[in-house]
Amino acid sequence: MGESAAGKVPPLTIDGHWAFDYTYYAGDAASRFFAELANRRIMGTRCPQCLRVLVPARGFCDACFVETTDWVQVSPHGTLETFTILTTSFPGLPEPPLVVGYVMLAGASSAVLNFVDGIDLTDPDAAGTAMLGRPPVTARFKDVCEGRITDFVFTLDEPA
Amino acid sequence: MRPVYLHGSAVSTTWRDASRSLTDLIFECVRTALGTAGISAADVGATVLAAHDLVDGRGLTSMVTAPAAATYLKDETRLGDDGALAFVLGDARVRSGSVDTCLVAAWGRASEGPIDEIAHALFDPFTARPLALTEIAVSGMRAARCLGDFPGYGRWRGAAAARRGVRPADPSRVPATAWPLRAGELPVWADVVAAVVLGSQPGPVRVGGVGMSTEPYELGDRDLTGLTALRTASAQALTDAGVDAASIDVLELDGLTLFDEALAAEAVGAAARGDGMSLLANSPRVNAGGGSAAGYCAPAMGLVRVARAAERLRNATTSQVGLATGASVVAAQVQAAVVLEGA
Amino acid sequence: MTGPAELAILGVGQTPYRRRHEGSTPELVYGAVRAALDHSGLEHRDIDLVIGGFAPDALAGENCPDKRFLPAAGAVGKWSMRINTGGTTGIAAAYAAMDLLEAGRGDAALVVGVERMAQARSVPAVFNSIFDPIYERDTGLSTVSMGALRATRMMQSWGYTAELWARVAERNFAHAASNPLAHIRTAYSVGDVLTSRMLAWPIRQLDACPISEGVCAVVIARTSAAARQRGRPLARVRGRATVTDTYNMGDRIGRREGDLVELLTLRMAAQRALGQAGLASAADADVVEIHAPFDHAETMAYAPLRFCAAADGPALVESGFGHRDGGGPVINPSGGPMAANPVGATALIRLAECALQVMGAAGERQVPGAATAVATGQGGSTQFSTCTVLSGS
Ligand SMILES: [Zn+2]
């Protein structure tokens, strides 16, 4: 005779660890984009078909499905198109609050994401509301560039 | 239902090409496949992709990678499963009449991630992971069973391995072995992209039939050397196409190791039980390009086999019939089979 | 040549949606599938295809967990495959089943969408890992901040406010209170939403979905095969479409064809699916389940679904649109994703809830007389959109 299947025991759990290390190949386009950051230049690539200047630089235009050709330097000045204020901490990142947003740089057809520094965030609602009007911003490079997107940050041209 | 034709295909096999990002590799292979089909991205009605998050090291890979496969403002979906299964879904899109042209693409870039560790994570955390199982270990168990049961496996393994071509010297390209597998019988890791264009208009290769089946997850519940799912899948595909196994001229069989390929040859009916290794050693019909030793990375391989079979049919001087198979992860739990007919 | 088969949903089975389930994944799947089969009147032997939906593996800490749970859905010896398109995974799995049925690869399919994200103890890190490792991960993007970037732009462009969005949240929570499967069943008020913890400005805790686990299973069949089920209610598939956009959110800022917050992909998918069903607008349906994990994201779908022009969205919210007693279409009678968002299942739940409504089988949350329903799906970087139209038999 078998035992009844209904006999309940406490559910078992075991601990697991999920960590896999990768080496991501940036490819020629992103490698050059990051190398140019060390020269304090923000570069885009132009699609020969739709003529958009894609920033950060891409090797191909996914809309037209053709390789990009020309490299174009865009202005460090642009418009803060949209943003958020991060209020929760995140492993491996600076302590919140942090402002991150998409900026359309002059001469670019697509917006680039980065941190926006130097904003008084003691009252996040006030700070956020004050920046809703698409304020002008400028990219500021760090003293030492490491070939990461965080080599530059944006700052507001006029205090919010 | 309407007939479906294969209009173009491409496979790229590279290793650690630092000049190319993953999306660059996908873009270039897809563009080549579209070129062989003589169409542009704008002509694609739908796209079916096969890629895996953990292999790609991207938490939701198709979010970042799909646009490199001509999906901009298109009907697109993605399997986290083998590329041959994606091919079957792509075939359905055209067969039912929902689109006229369907692109199928699959990839895996072994050089970016820890392939052995990823394979280990496939196994049950309670019952199998503590026992250090990987997919190579399962292939080792299959090989041991074959060597014990069938004298032909021991006799022909050397000759079959010799046909797999020259292996790269780089030790990071070959997994740690599991006895009784020898180095020349193992897969060679690669950065692999495959792309195929399917359409309703007559083309050089016709999709004759497809089949698929699934085995239990638990290895102890399976017939490890019988490959039950592949037997069912290939029988379905042959029936669907109205051909028998004996009339197949071109075989492209997906298997992680030489032994898995030999067992697949038996499962599809190309060799009698116990004779799979002999077939691999002696027949130019099977895996002419070297099989898993010519570059391997899941989940691209089933679509690679389909593309290789199509190439062989296109290059043949006579009208031939081909059979390609694709196996999913967890030691070939799901298998798909595709019959292709040359013009 | 015969045209595509007519398709219908015959049965739905769901686990409750909760923060955490103690059962194993195969056990949960088996329970939901058993319920879906029972509801459909079909037996396991009638099923030809089993399609599994599971989204980020890292959330479960298992690589390809589908291979472990599909046998529990009855896949052994049958066709099976796993779909993963992020947020749209569940509905993309249903579409794969429909595509195969239409091609004659079977008469009946089981679709199962699964989420086990409570197994991950590092959910934010997993959600950061979905972004481009080369250009964007270093900026701290997550699914919440990605949503917030859109919310801010909607405030800039159309004058939405936190108060307006809180009204949408309040309605979703009110509806969820009559859904016994919902994860959040507290009828939070506008005030509760506006004073909840800030996640990423302007999104607060109660503007956002919870982290939920659960399983949804749906039986789909060709209506020719379903004829044997005479007398049972059916949910007929009248239209469906899926559209994918570029990954790059920056490329959609100010894009001529459709800006980041204009949801071009949903506009295109809805146009096709509504057109197939002969509807001018989703407002012509009785029930609309909108796949939106945030209140602002629900309002972003209003213009693409043709409820109103984008600029008139705030006024539509102001009017009390979408309430159970509002006279117009009832939005999210289940409570929607803000009341339960198991990622790998959530888009399939939208379809399942619409099916239950047009079958008259939605219990406490039934909208009386519901005959037509529209379900949307949304995934990736608000990049994958689907729209499905169902009607009763
Ligand atoms: Zn272009």
Rg (CA), chain B: 19
Token pair 């295809």 is found at C49
pLDDT tens-place string over residues B207-250: 999 999 999 999 999 999 999 999 999 999 999 999 999 999 99
Asked if A124 lies within 8 A of C201 by C-beta distance, the reply is yes
* Window from A18-32, A101-115, B295-309, C256-270 with minimum mean pLDDT: A18-32
| Ligand 1 centre distance from Cα of residue A40 (Å) | 26
CA dist C391 → C8, C97, C274, C330, C355 (Å) = 9, 19, 12, 15, 8
The DSSP bridge pattern shows strands B191-199 and B5-14 to be antiparallel
Q: Considering chain B, what is the average pLDDT of its residues?
A: 96
| Ligand 1 centre distance from Cα of residue A27 (Å) | 19
Token pair 């769901």 is found at C14
Mean pLDDT of B174-187: 94
Per CATH, is B5-113+189-199 categorized as 3.40.47.10? yes
Determine the 3-state secondary structure of B258 from DSSP: helix
Residue A7: pLDDT over 80: no
> Could you tell me the residue range of the domain that residue A129 belongs to?
27-156
CA-based nearest distance A51→chain C, Å: 13
pLDDT tens-place string over residues B52-81: 999 999 989 999 999 999 999 999 999 999
The reported pTM is 0.96
CB proximity list for A10: less than 8 A, separation 6 or greater: none
Question: Could you give the CA distance from residue C373 to residue C235 in angstroms, rounded to a whole number?
Answer: 9
Mean pLDDT of B85-94: 98
Here the contacts of C70-74 (C-beta below 8 Å, separation 24 or greater) are C70/B214, C70/B217, C70/C112, C71/B214, C71/B216, C71/B217, C71/C26, C72/C25, C72/C26, C72/C27, C72/C29, C72/C30, C72/C33, C73/C29, C73/C30, C73/C33, C73/C110, C73/C112, C73/C217, C74/C33, C74/C44, C74/C47, C74/C50, C74/C110
Question: Could you give the CA distance from residue C353 to residue C373 in angstroms, rounded to a whole number?
Answer: 9
- pLDDT value of position C90: 98
pLDDT: which is higher, C138 or C173: C173
Asked if C140 lies within 8 A of A100 by C-beta distance, the reply is yes
> In the beta sheet, which residues pair with residue B79?
B50, C83
Token pair 């595709």 is found at B338
Q: How many residues does chain B have?
A: 343
Residue B155: pLDDT over 70: yes
Rounded-to-10 torsion of CA C101, C103, C105, C107: 40
Q: Which domains does chain C have, with CATH numbers?
A: 4-121+211-226 (3.40.47.10), 235-392 (3.40.47.10)
Cis bond before residue A136 (omega within 30° of 0): no
Q: Is A63 on the interface with B (CB under 8 A)?
A: yes
**A67 within some domain:** yes
pLDDT bucket at A1, cuts 50 / 70 / 90: low
Mean pLDDT of B25-43: 98
Token pair 């890791």 is found at B189
Q: How many residues does chain C have?
A: 393
Q: Is C263 on the interface with A (CB under 8 A)?
A: no
| Prediction ipTM score | 0.98
Asked if C22 lies within 8 A of A11 by C-beta distance, the reply is yes
pLDDT tens-place string over residues C74-99: 999 999 999 999 999 999 999 999 99
Residue B334: pLDDT over 90: yes
Cis bond before residue A76 (omega within 30° of 0): no
- pLDDT value of position B265: 98
- pLDDT value of position A4: 65
Mean pLDDT of C24-34: 96
Considering only alpha carbons, which residue of chain C is nearest residue B67?
A: C246
Mean pLDDT of B99-110: 98
Asked if B89 lies within 8 A of C131 by C-beta distance, the reply is no
* Window from A18-22, B314-318, C181-185 with minimum mean pLDDT: A18-22
Nearest-CB residue to B73 (from C63, C85, C243): C243
Nearest-CB residue to C242 (from B62, B77, B214): B77
Angle between helical axes of B83-95 and C89-102 (0-180°, round to 10): 60
pLDDT bucket at C1, cuts 50 / 70 / 90: very low
**A6 within some domain:** no
Q: Is C14 on the interface with A (CB under 8 A)?
A: no
Residue A120: pLDDT over 70: yes
Residue C2: pLDDT over 50: no
CATH 3.40.47.10 segments of chain B: 5-113+189-199, 207-342
Half-sphere exposure (Cβ direction) of C228: Cα atoms closer than 13 Å: 10
Asked if A113 lies within 8 A of C141 by C-beta distance, the reply is yes
Question: Could you give the CA distance from residue C311 to residue C314 in angstroms, rounded to a whole number?
Answer: 7
Mean pLDDT of A117-125: 94
pLDDT bucket at A89, cuts 50 / 70 / 90: confident
Angle between helical axes of C343-359 and C89-102 (0-180°, round to 10): 60
**A101 within some domain:** yes
Question: Could you give the CA distance from residue C383 to residue C85 in angstroms, rounded to a whole number?
Answer: 10
How many domains is chain A partitioned into structurally? 1
Chain A hits for C124, CB-CB cut-off 8 Å, are: 88, 90-91
Is residue B292 within 8 A of residue B257, CB to CB? The reply is yes
Taking only residues 239 to 258 of chain B, the set having a beta carbon closer than 8 angstroms to any beta carbon of chain A reads none
CATH topology of domain B207-342: Peroxisomal Thiolase; Chain A, domain 1 (3.40.47)
Asked if B80 lies within 8 A of C64 by C-beta distance, the reply is yes
Q: Which amino acid is residue C106, in one-letter code?
A: G
**A58 within some domain:** yes
Phi, psi of B101 (to 5 degrees): -135, 130
- pLDDT value of position C3: 45
Distance of CA C197 to the CA centre of its chain: 25
- pLDDT value of position A5: 63
Question: Could you give the CA distance from residue B333 to residue B215 in angstroms, rounded to a whole number?
Answer: 5
> In the beta sheet, which residues pair with residue A112?
A103
Q: Is C242 on the interface with B (CB under 8 A)?
A: yes
- pLDDT value of position A160: 65
Determine the 3-state secondary structure of B97 from DSSP: coil
Question: Could you give the CA distance from residue B226 to residue B142 in angstroms, rounded to a whole number?
Answer: 10
pLDDT bucket at A6, cuts 50 / 70 / 90: low
- pLDDT value of position C228: 66
Is residue A95 within 8 A of residue A115, CB to CB? The reply is no
**A11 within some domain:** no
pLDDT bucket at B162, cuts 50 / 70 / 90: very high
- pLDDT value of position B188: 97
- pLDDT value of position C227: 67
Is residue B278 within 8 A of residue B152, CB to CB? The reply is yes
Cis bond before residue B187 (omega within 30° of 0): no
Phi, psi of B53 (to 5 degrees): -55, -45
Q: Is B142 on the interface with C (CB under 8 A)?
A: no
B172: left (phi over 0), alpha (psi -120 to 50) or beta: alpha
Question: Could you give the CA distance from residue B219 to residue B299 in angstroms, rounded to a whole number?
Answer: 20
- pLDDT value of position B146: 97
First to last CA, chain C: 26
* Window from A13-22, A113-122, B246-255, B325-334 with minimum mean pLDDT: A13-22
CB proximity list for B23: less than 8 A, separation 6 or greater: A27, A59, A60, B64, B65, B67, B68
Task: Please choose, from the candidates B337, B327, B265, the residue with its C-alpha nearest in 3D space to the C-alpha of residue B122.
Answer: B327
pLDDT tens-place string over residues B261-280: 999 999 999 999 999 999 99
CB proximity list for C237: less than 8 A, separation 6 or greater: C6, C7, C8, C9, C98, C220, C388, C389, C390
pLDDT tens-place string over residues C296-353: 999 999 999 999 999 999 999 999 999 998 889 999 999 999 999 999 999 999 999 9
> Which tokens belong to C1?
């040549």
The DSSP bridge pattern shows strands A77-86 and C198-201 to be antiparallel
